[in-house]
Structure 1
Amino acid sequence: MNRLKVRWKSSSIWMQRRKKDQYYRLAKLKGYRSRAAFKLLHLIKRYRFIGRGDFVLDLGAAPGGWSQVLAEIVGGEGYVLGVDLNKIEPLESQRVEFMQLDINSESAISILKAKTQRILDAVVSDVSPNVTGAWDLDHFRQIQLASRSLDIAKALLKHGGNFLVKVFQGSELEDFMKDLKRYFLTVKIVKPPATRPSSAELYILCLNYTGCSDSPAHPQAQD
């Protein structure tokens, strides 16, 4: 019984903090499905790596907040494909489609190629593992998902395309950054204001895909 009381109290405190969160309130006001929409919106406005008419793949798209932002940015001439392990309720936009898919499956890349039927201007990934609380394990699993997102980006991006991917801080981050620098002219760590101060979550923005797999890191790459 005492455990139930503690759990209820923790849940109640979490809900109170959530309601005080300015981005949570803004998301409700503007009709976004998640506060995370403001993370992507800030990064696009600042770095302009996605624009009107672009074709974009949104990995880890549930519940659809990022796809809503992308639909606004790409407009009627663009296209957004949102992919997640879980089912996502459709949006009103005609230019957004959702697909339920395990990106770790062997057939994922071929399925995505068949669906998009063209090279893409950008790939964004907000994919996360189910957090266990064991930090080293959670970090490692997050890097694995980020690496898989990179594999998909390499298969679908146009030359000069852009890639945004979520990571957690940890020991594997440096090696992953080195890997990214083999494929993109500019690689930088970014942390949008909507990220909670206590979070170890980061994003890596990769600009100008070169398609080069065996070249050393480009001198333009930056941390």
Structure 2
Amino acid sequence: MAKDSSGRLHVTVKSKGKRKLSSKLWLERQLNDPYVAQARRDGFRSRAAYKLTEIDDKFHLLKSGMTVVDLGAAPGGWSQVAAKRVGAPARGKVVAIDLLEMGEIPGVDFAQLDFLADDAPERLIVMLGGRADLVMSDMAANTTGHRKTDQLRIVGLVEAAALFATEVLKPGGAFLAKVFQSGADADLLAQLKRDFASVKHVKPAASRQDSSERYVLATGFRGEPRTLPEA
């Protein structure tokens, strides 16, 4: 171990056996990431909890009694923060889905579900039992290595999440979604600006500096929500 430029000890992982370079670099990054260590100490399931915490501390999205939808929730960092800040389940409500399994979190109603499945929106609406104050998405598409293809997949996920948000949000509600370096697609950005009073891109300090991820935040929903199907 050696100290980095900030004086912290830096762990170097030795390559053994058939460990790939990408795996070695990922493991080193995890071991040397202060947010990963802090998440363990604070009982959060992932460092992503600090991204939502920072965004909420600045923009005050989460309030006691709110109903929140968490798309792409696993392993649960965002859901943990949301449940605590809205007072779920006693006062608020958090509904979460992911393709992957996610262990139970107090106050969070979770379903293992593909958001892009045809029946996913209706199933989510039934879980909600009404309208939402905030729809947030930390979903990320599986990458192929082909830049244009990956960008189209990312945009498609954000567009689907935004459409769902306009179907379930209460007037004045908010939408938060991961969009990566290029930000929201121009057409999507234009639509969000029509549906919301304020639209901006944010990059919390907890996002790794070498990461291309950023988030689009739309607040003050002013569109006309569609009639929800009966539960």
Q: TM-score, normalised by structure 1?
A: 0.88
The 3 A distance-change label for structure 1 pair 55 and 63 is same
Conserved? CA contact 1:58–1:123, under 8 Å: yes
Q: Hey, what does 1:18 align to over in structure 2?
A: 30
Aligned-partner Cα distance in 2 for 1:89–1:182:
38
Task: For 1:79, give the aligned amino acid.
Answer: K
Match of 1:62 among 67, 71, 74: 74
**Mapping of 1:186-205 within 5 angstroms?**
186-205=198-217
5+ long unaligned stretches in structure 1: 214-223
Percent of aligned pairs with the same amino acid: 39
Aligned-partner Cα distance in 1 for 2:219–2:184:
21
The 3 A distance-change label for structure 1 pair 55 and 22 is same
Give the helix-richer structure, 1 or 2. Answer: 1
Conserved? CA contact 2:183–2:214, under 8 Å: no
Return the offset for 1:7. Answer: 3.9
Q: Hey, what does 2:175 align to over in structure 1?
A: 163
Conserved? CA contact 2:158–2:179, under 8 Å: yes
Asked if residue 154 in structure 1 is aligned to residue 157 in structure 2, the reply is no
Match of 1:125 among 119, 137, 151: 137
Return the offset for 1:168. Answer: 2.0
Match of 1:90 among 104, 108, 119: 104
Q: Greater CA deviation, 164-173 or 193-202?
A: 164-173
Asked if residue 173 in structure 1 is aligned to residue 179 in structure 2, the reply is no
RMSD, aligned CA: 1.9
Task: For 2:99, give the aligned amino acid.
Answer: L
Conserved? CA contact 2:183–2:215, under 8 Å: no
Conserved? CA contact 1:139–1:169, under 8 Å: no
Asked if residue 81 in structure 1 is aligned to residue 95 in structure 2, the reply is yes
Conserved? CA contact 2:200–2:218, under 8 Å: yes
Residue deviations 1:18-69, cap 9 Å, x none?
1111111111111111111110010001100121111100000011110001
Return the offset for 1:137. Answer: 1.5
Conserved? CA contact 1:109–1:155, under 8 Å: no
Q: Hey, what does 1:145 align to over in structure 2?
A: 157
Residue deviations 1:90-145, cap 9 Å, x none?
11x1x211111111122222111111111111110001111222222211101100
Aligned-partner Cα distance in 1 for 2:122–2:27:
41
Partner-residue secondary structure (3-state), 1:177: helix
Aligned-partner Cα distance in 1 for 2:168–2:144:
31
Task: For 2:218, give the aligned amino acid.
Answer: C
Q: TM-score, normalised by structure 2?
A: 0.85
Task: For 1:204, give the aligned amino acid.
Answer: V
The 3 A distance-change label for structure 1 pair 114 and 212 is closer
Partner-residue secondary structure (3-state), 1:182: helix
Partner-residue secondary structure (3-state), 1:208: strand
Return the offset for 1:171. Answer: 8.5
Task: For 1:88, give the aligned amino acid.
Answer: M
